[in-house]
Amino acid sequence: MTAELVRAQGLARVYHSRRGLFGQAVGVRAVDSVSLTIRPGETLGVVGESGSGKSTLGRMVLGLEVPDEGSVTFAGQPVPPIRSAAWRQSRSRMQMIYQDPLGALDRRLPVIEQVREPLDIHEGAARSERQERAVRMLERVGLSARQGSRYPHELSGGQRQRVVLARALMTRPDFLVCDEPVSALDVSIQAQVVNLLIDLQADLGLAMLFISHDLRVVRQISGRIAVMYLGRFVEEGDADDLFAEPLHPYTRALVSAAPSPGRRAERIVLSGEPPNPADRPQGCAFHPRCPLAAARCRTEAPRLVAVDGTRRVACHLVEPAAGTARKAA
Ligand code: SF4
Protein backbone atom coordinates (compact mmCIF):
# COMPACT_ATOMS: atom_id res chain seq x y z
CA MET A 1 0.00 0.00 0.00
CA THR A 2 1.24 3.52 -0.82
CA ALA A 3 2.53 5.49 2.15
CA GLU A 4 0.26 8.27 3.34
CA LEU A 5 0.75 11.82 2.10
CA VAL A 6 -1.11 13.44 5.01
CA ARG A 7 -1.27 12.17 8.55
CA ALA A 8 -3.09 13.92 11.41
CA GLN A 9 -2.83 12.46 14.88
CA GLY A 10 -5.04 13.32 17.87
CA LEU A 11 -6.00 16.81 16.63
CA ALA A 12 -7.89 19.09 18.99
CA ARG A 13 -8.81 22.77 18.77
CA VAL A 14 -10.20 24.60 21.77
CA TYR A 15 -11.86 28.01 21.52
CA HIS A 16 -12.41 30.05 24.66
CA SER A 17 -15.61 31.94 25.30
CA ARG A 18 -17.32 33.53 28.30
CA ARG A 19 -20.64 32.28 29.63
CA GLY A 20 -22.99 32.70 32.55
CA LEU A 21 -23.82 35.59 34.84
CA PHE A 22 -20.20 36.16 35.82
CA GLY A 23 -18.74 35.54 32.39
CA GLN A 24 -16.78 32.45 33.33
CA ALA A 25 -14.26 31.34 30.69
CA VAL A 26 -15.14 28.01 29.13
CA GLY A 27 -13.21 26.00 26.61
CA VAL A 28 -15.17 24.75 23.59
CA ARG A 29 -13.56 21.78 21.89
CA ALA A 30 -14.44 22.49 18.25
CA VAL A 31 -12.36 19.51 17.15
CA ASP A 32 -11.45 16.70 19.51
CA SER A 33 -9.21 13.64 19.14
CA VAL A 34 -9.35 13.47 15.34
CA SER A 35 -6.85 11.29 13.50
CA LEU A 36 -6.78 10.71 9.76
CA THR A 37 -4.54 9.64 6.91
CA ILE A 38 -4.76 10.42 3.20
CA ARG A 39 -2.70 8.59 0.60
CA PRO A 40 -1.46 10.19 -2.65
CA GLY A 41 -4.31 10.45 -5.15
CA GLU A 42 -6.95 9.58 -2.56
CA THR A 43 -9.99 11.62 -1.49
CA LEU A 44 -11.19 11.53 2.07
CA GLY A 45 -14.63 13.10 2.38
CA VAL A 46 -15.63 14.64 5.71
CA VAL A 47 -19.34 15.13 6.23
CA GLY A 48 -21.26 16.65 9.11
CA GLU A 49 -23.71 19.34 10.08
CA SER A 50 -22.83 22.99 10.44
CA GLY A 51 -20.83 23.46 13.65
CA SER A 52 -19.41 19.94 13.65
CA GLY A 53 -15.82 21.19 13.32
CA LYS A 54 -15.19 20.19 9.68
CA SER A 55 -13.77 23.53 8.55
CA THR A 56 -11.58 23.89 11.62
CA LEU A 57 -10.22 20.43 10.92
CA GLY A 58 -9.45 21.39 7.29
CA ARG A 59 -7.61 24.55 8.36
CA MET A 60 -5.53 22.62 10.91
CA VAL A 61 -4.58 19.97 8.36
CA LEU A 62 -3.35 22.74 6.06
CA GLY A 63 -1.48 24.56 8.85
CA LEU A 64 -3.75 27.63 8.67
CA GLU A 65 -4.76 27.04 12.26
CA VAL A 66 -2.50 25.68 14.99
CA PRO A 67 -3.92 22.67 16.84
CA ASP A 68 -4.07 22.81 20.64
CA GLU A 69 -3.32 19.10 20.70
CA GLY A 70 -1.99 16.65 18.17
CA SER A 71 0.13 16.95 15.06
CA VAL A 72 -0.04 16.98 11.26
CA THR A 73 2.59 15.71 8.85
CA PHE A 74 2.70 16.22 5.10
CA ALA A 75 4.91 13.92 3.01
CA GLY A 76 6.44 12.68 6.26
CA GLN A 77 7.39 16.15 7.57
CA PRO A 78 5.61 18.20 10.23
CA VAL A 79 3.49 20.98 8.67
CA PRO A 80 5.53 24.14 9.44
CA PRO A 81 4.24 26.98 11.65
CA ILE A 82 1.92 29.35 9.80
CA ARG A 83 3.55 32.29 7.99
CA SER A 84 7.06 30.85 8.37
CA ALA A 85 9.19 30.66 5.18
CA ALA A 86 8.87 26.87 5.24
CA TRP A 87 5.07 27.13 5.51
CA ARG A 88 4.90 29.51 2.52
CA GLN A 89 7.00 27.06 0.56
CA SER A 90 4.86 24.09 1.57
CA ARG A 91 1.66 25.97 0.55
CA SER A 92 2.57 25.53 -3.12
CA ARG A 93 2.07 21.78 -2.57
CA MET A 94 -1.06 22.17 -0.41
CA GLN A 95 -3.91 24.42 -1.52
CA MET A 96 -7.37 25.29 -0.24
CA ILE A 97 -10.64 25.83 -2.10
CA TYR A 98 -13.29 27.73 -0.16
CA GLN A 99 -17.07 27.88 -0.41
CA ASP A 100 -17.19 31.50 -1.57
CA PRO A 101 -15.14 32.02 -4.74
CA LEU A 102 -16.00 35.71 -4.90
CA GLY A 103 -14.47 36.21 -1.47
CA ALA A 104 -11.34 34.33 -2.57
CA LEU A 105 -10.81 36.51 -5.66
CA ASP A 106 -9.77 40.15 -6.06
CA ARG A 107 -12.70 42.01 -7.62
CA ARG A 108 -10.39 44.64 -9.12
CA LEU A 109 -8.27 42.27 -11.24
CA PRO A 110 -9.10 40.35 -14.43
CA VAL A 111 -9.19 36.67 -13.56
CA ILE A 112 -6.30 35.70 -15.86
CA GLU A 113 -3.99 37.89 -13.77
CA GLN A 114 -5.17 36.12 -10.63
CA VAL A 115 -4.61 32.69 -12.17
CA ARG A 116 -1.12 33.78 -13.29
CA GLU A 117 -0.25 35.31 -9.91
CA PRO A 118 1.28 32.18 -8.28
CA LEU A 119 3.71 31.95 -11.20
CA ASP A 120 4.48 35.68 -11.00
CA ILE A 121 5.42 35.17 -7.35
CA HIS A 122 7.16 31.80 -7.42
CA GLU A 123 8.61 31.30 -10.91
CA GLY A 124 11.17 33.16 -12.97
CA ALA A 125 9.80 32.26 -16.44
CA ALA A 126 9.15 35.01 -19.00
CA ARG A 127 5.82 36.82 -18.69
CA SER A 128 4.60 35.47 -22.05
CA GLU A 129 5.23 31.90 -20.88
CA ARG A 130 3.49 32.52 -17.55
CA GLN A 131 0.55 34.03 -19.40
CA GLU A 132 0.38 31.07 -21.75
CA ARG A 133 0.41 28.58 -18.87
CA ALA A 134 -2.35 30.52 -17.12
CA VAL A 135 -4.51 30.43 -20.26
CA ARG A 136 -3.89 26.68 -20.63
CA MET A 137 -4.94 26.13 -17.04
CA LEU A 138 -8.10 28.20 -17.55
CA GLU A 139 -8.90 26.02 -20.55
CA ARG A 140 -8.17 22.91 -18.47
CA VAL A 141 -10.91 23.92 -16.03
CA GLY A 142 -13.36 24.68 -18.85
CA LEU A 143 -12.93 28.44 -19.32
CA SER A 144 -11.77 30.36 -22.39
CA ALA A 145 -9.04 33.00 -22.73
CA ARG A 146 -11.82 35.52 -23.40
CA GLN A 147 -13.44 34.69 -20.05
CA GLY A 148 -9.98 35.15 -18.51
CA SER A 149 -10.05 38.82 -19.42
CA ARG A 150 -13.21 39.37 -17.37
CA TYR A 151 -13.51 40.46 -13.75
CA PRO A 152 -14.86 38.07 -11.10
CA HIS A 153 -18.26 39.78 -10.86
CA GLU A 154 -18.75 39.28 -14.62
CA LEU A 155 -18.65 35.48 -14.22
CA SER A 156 -21.20 33.05 -12.79
CA GLY A 157 -20.63 31.31 -9.44
CA GLY A 158 -19.58 28.07 -11.14
CA GLN A 159 -17.16 29.93 -13.42
CA ARG A 160 -15.66 31.76 -10.47
CA GLN A 161 -15.09 28.47 -8.65
CA ARG A 162 -13.30 27.17 -11.77
CA VAL A 163 -11.05 30.25 -11.65
CA VAL A 164 -10.22 29.57 -8.00
CA LEU A 165 -9.44 25.97 -8.89
CA ALA A 166 -7.23 27.01 -11.83
CA ARG A 167 -5.27 29.37 -9.58
CA ALA A 168 -4.83 26.68 -6.92
CA LEU A 169 -3.51 24.23 -9.52
CA MET A 170 -0.92 26.60 -11.00
CA THR A 171 1.65 25.56 -8.39
CA ARG A 172 1.06 21.85 -9.17
CA PRO A 173 -0.07 20.92 -5.64
CA ASP A 174 -0.19 17.33 -4.37
CA PHE A 175 -3.02 18.02 -1.95
CA LEU A 176 -6.22 20.10 -1.94
CA VAL A 177 -8.48 20.88 0.98
CA CYS A 178 -11.91 21.66 -0.49
CA ASP A 179 -14.16 23.26 2.12
CA GLU A 180 -17.80 23.20 0.91
CA PRO A 181 -16.58 24.04 -2.63
CA VAL A 182 -19.98 23.57 -4.30
CA SER A 183 -22.42 24.44 -1.51
CA ALA A 184 -23.12 27.92 -2.87
CA LEU A 185 -23.80 26.67 -6.41
CA ASP A 186 -26.98 25.49 -8.15
CA VAL A 187 -27.42 21.71 -8.11
CA SER A 188 -26.71 21.34 -11.87
CA ILE A 189 -23.54 23.43 -11.56
CA GLN A 190 -22.50 21.48 -8.44
CA ALA A 191 -22.37 18.29 -10.51
CA GLN A 192 -20.23 19.98 -13.19
CA VAL A 193 -17.69 21.27 -10.67
CA VAL A 194 -17.56 17.94 -8.81
CA ASN A 195 -17.03 16.09 -12.11
CA LEU A 196 -14.25 18.53 -12.97
CA LEU A 197 -12.58 17.85 -9.62
CA ILE A 198 -12.84 14.10 -10.24
CA ASP A 199 -11.24 14.50 -13.71
CA LEU A 200 -8.46 16.71 -12.40
CA GLN A 201 -7.76 14.33 -9.57
CA ALA A 202 -7.41 11.41 -11.98
CA ASP A 203 -5.18 13.45 -14.35
CA LEU A 204 -2.95 15.05 -11.73
CA GLY A 205 -2.94 12.39 -9.00
CA LEU A 206 -4.21 14.90 -6.44
CA ALA A 207 -5.04 13.90 -2.89
CA MET A 208 -8.04 15.71 -1.40
CA LEU A 209 -9.76 16.37 1.86
CA PHE A 210 -13.30 17.16 0.69
CA ILE A 211 -15.50 18.79 3.30
CA SER A 212 -19.27 19.15 2.95
CA HIS A 213 -22.52 19.02 4.88
CA ASP A 214 -24.01 17.13 1.90
CA LEU A 215 -23.37 13.39 1.99
CA ARG A 216 -24.66 13.04 -1.58
CA VAL A 217 -21.89 15.30 -2.87
CA VAL A 218 -19.25 13.73 -0.64
CA ARG A 219 -20.20 10.30 -1.88
CA GLN A 220 -19.69 11.29 -5.53
CA ILE A 221 -16.06 12.18 -5.07
CA SER A 222 -14.71 10.29 -2.06
CA GLY A 223 -13.07 6.89 -1.81
CA ARG A 224 -13.35 7.05 1.97
CA ILE A 225 -15.77 9.02 4.12
CA ALA A 226 -15.50 10.24 7.70
CA VAL A 227 -18.69 11.33 9.47
CA MET A 228 -18.15 14.09 12.00
CA TYR A 229 -20.41 15.00 14.88
CA LEU A 230 -19.67 17.70 17.41
CA GLY A 231 -15.94 17.76 16.77
CA ARG A 232 -15.29 14.04 16.54
CA PHE A 233 -15.31 11.34 13.92
CA VAL A 234 -18.14 8.94 14.72
CA GLU A 235 -17.68 6.68 11.70
CA GLU A 236 -15.07 6.32 8.99
CA GLY A 237 -14.78 3.81 6.19
CA ASP A 238 -14.79 2.94 2.52
CA ALA A 239 -17.46 5.09 0.82
CA ASP A 240 -19.32 2.19 -0.82
CA ASP A 241 -19.34 0.10 2.38
CA LEU A 242 -20.47 3.02 4.47
CA PHE A 243 -23.35 3.72 2.11
CA ALA A 244 -24.30 0.05 1.78
CA GLU A 245 -24.27 -0.55 5.51
CA PRO A 246 -23.97 2.50 7.75
CA LEU A 247 -23.20 1.36 11.30
CA HIS A 248 -23.45 4.48 13.48
CA PRO A 249 -27.04 5.70 14.08
CA TYR A 250 -26.07 9.22 12.93
CA THR A 251 -24.57 7.88 9.70
CA ARG A 252 -27.71 5.82 9.16
CA ALA A 253 -29.83 8.96 9.41
CA LEU A 254 -27.57 10.84 6.98
CA VAL A 255 -27.55 7.97 4.49
CA SER A 256 -31.33 7.57 4.71
CA ALA A 257 -31.67 11.24 3.72
CA ALA A 258 -29.30 10.98 0.73
CA PRO A 259 -31.10 9.74 -2.38
CA SER A 260 -29.27 6.89 -4.08
CA PRO A 261 -30.35 4.95 -7.18
CA GLY A 262 -31.36 1.38 -6.40
CA ARG A 263 -31.51 1.89 -2.65
CA ARG A 264 -34.79 2.04 -0.78
CA ALA A 265 -34.48 2.81 2.86
CA GLU A 266 -36.92 4.40 5.20
CA ARG A 267 -36.01 8.00 5.95
CA ILE A 268 -34.74 8.41 9.51
CA VAL A 269 -35.63 11.86 10.83
CA LEU A 270 -33.53 12.95 13.77
CA SER A 271 -35.27 14.68 16.62
CA GLY A 272 -33.77 17.46 18.72
CA GLU A 273 -31.69 20.47 17.90
CA PRO A 274 -28.58 20.56 15.77
CA PRO A 275 -25.46 20.34 17.94
CA ASN A 276 -24.07 23.29 19.85
CA PRO A 277 -20.32 22.81 20.41
CA ALA A 278 -20.48 25.05 23.50
CA ASP A 279 -22.99 22.73 25.15
CA ARG A 280 -21.63 19.26 24.59
CA PRO A 281 -23.82 16.55 26.16
CA GLN A 282 -22.26 14.15 28.67
CA GLY A 283 -21.48 10.64 27.51
CA CYS A 284 -22.11 10.08 23.82
CA ALA A 285 -22.63 13.56 22.33
CA PHE A 286 -25.26 12.13 19.99
CA HIS A 287 -27.43 10.60 22.73
CA PRO A 288 -30.08 13.39 22.93
CA ARG A 289 -30.96 12.70 19.27
CA CYS A 290 -30.20 9.00 19.05
CA PRO A 291 -33.19 6.65 18.65
CA LEU A 292 -31.14 3.82 20.18
CA ALA A 293 -29.70 5.64 23.21
CA ALA A 294 -29.44 3.56 26.39
CA ALA A 295 -28.49 4.47 29.96
CA ARG A 296 -24.81 3.85 29.32
CA CYS A 297 -24.85 6.36 26.43
CA ARG A 298 -25.71 9.22 28.82
CA THR A 299 -22.62 8.74 30.95
CA GLU A 300 -19.93 7.06 28.89
CA ALA A 301 -18.50 8.43 25.64
CA PRO A 302 -17.85 5.67 23.10
CA ARG A 303 -14.37 5.43 21.62
CA LEU A 304 -13.73 5.30 17.88
CA VAL A 305 -12.66 1.70 17.33
CA ALA A 306 -11.90 -0.43 14.30
CA VAL A 307 -14.78 -2.83 13.67
CA ASP A 308 -13.36 -4.47 10.58
CA GLY A 309 -10.50 -3.99 8.13
CA THR A 310 -11.40 -0.45 7.05
CA ARG A 311 -14.24 0.76 9.26
CA ARG A 312 -13.97 2.73 12.51
CA VAL A 313 -17.09 3.49 14.54
CA ALA A 314 -17.80 5.24 17.86
CA CYS A 315 -20.98 3.68 19.26
CA HIS A 316 -21.59 1.39 22.23
CA LEU A 317 -23.81 -0.77 20.05
CA VAL A 318 -21.11 -1.36 17.45
CA GLU A 319 -18.19 -3.00 19.13
CA PRO A 320 -15.59 -5.33 17.75
CA ALA A 321 -16.10 -8.83 19.10
CA ALA A 322 -13.45 -11.30 17.98
CA GLY A 323 -13.12 -9.39 14.73
CA THR A 324 -16.83 -8.89 14.05
CA ALA A 325 -19.13 -5.99 14.76
CA ARG A 326 -22.21 -6.16 16.96
CA LYS A 327 -24.29 -3.83 14.82
CA ALA A 328 -26.95 -1.40 15.90
CA ALA A 329 -30.37 -2.96 15.39
FE1 SF4 B 1 -26.64 6.14 20.08
FE2 SF4 B 1 -25.56 5.19 22.31
FE3 SF4 B 1 -24.44 4.65 19.97
FE4 SF4 B 1 -24.33 7.13 20.96
S5 SF4 B 1 -23.38 5.29 21.83
S6 SF4 B 1 -24.80 6.58 18.90
S7 SF4 B 1 -26.32 7.27 21.95
S8 SF4 B 1 -26.47 3.98 20.68
Domains of the chain, residue spans: 6-18+25-93+173-268, 108-172
- Spatial CA neighbour of 115 closest among 170, 156, 155: 170
The verdict on the CB of residue 234 being under 6 Å from ligand 1 is no
- Predicted confidence at residue 301, as pLDDT, reads 95
pTM: 0.91
Strand order in the sheet with 94-97: 94-97, 175-179, 207-212, 43-47, 224-229, 232-238, 312-313, 305-306
Give the three-class secondary structure for 265: coil
Q: Please give the CATH number for the structural domain made up of 6-18+25-93+173-268.
A: 3.40.50.300
Residue of the CA atom closest to atom 5 of ligand 1: 315
The verdict on the CB of residue 286 being under 6 Å from ligand 1 is yes
d(Cα 171, Cα 157) in Å, to the nearest integer?
23
- Predicted confidence at residue 329, as pLDDT, reads 45
Query: Is residue 303 within 8 Å of 309, Cβ to Cβ?
Result: no
Q: Which of 229, 282, 287 to mutate to test the pocket of ligand 1 (most atoms within 8 A of CB)?
A: 287
User: Which residue numbers in the chain have pLDDT < 50?
Assistant: 1, 321-325, 328-329
d(Cα 259, Cα 246) in Å, to the nearest integer?
14
- Predicted confidence at residue 139, as pLDDT, reads 97
**What is the 323 CA–ligand 1 centroid distance (Å)?**
20
- Predicted confidence at residue 26, as pLDDT, reads 79
- Predicted confidence at residue 21, as pLDDT, reads 64
- Predicted confidence at residue 4, as pLDDT, reads 93
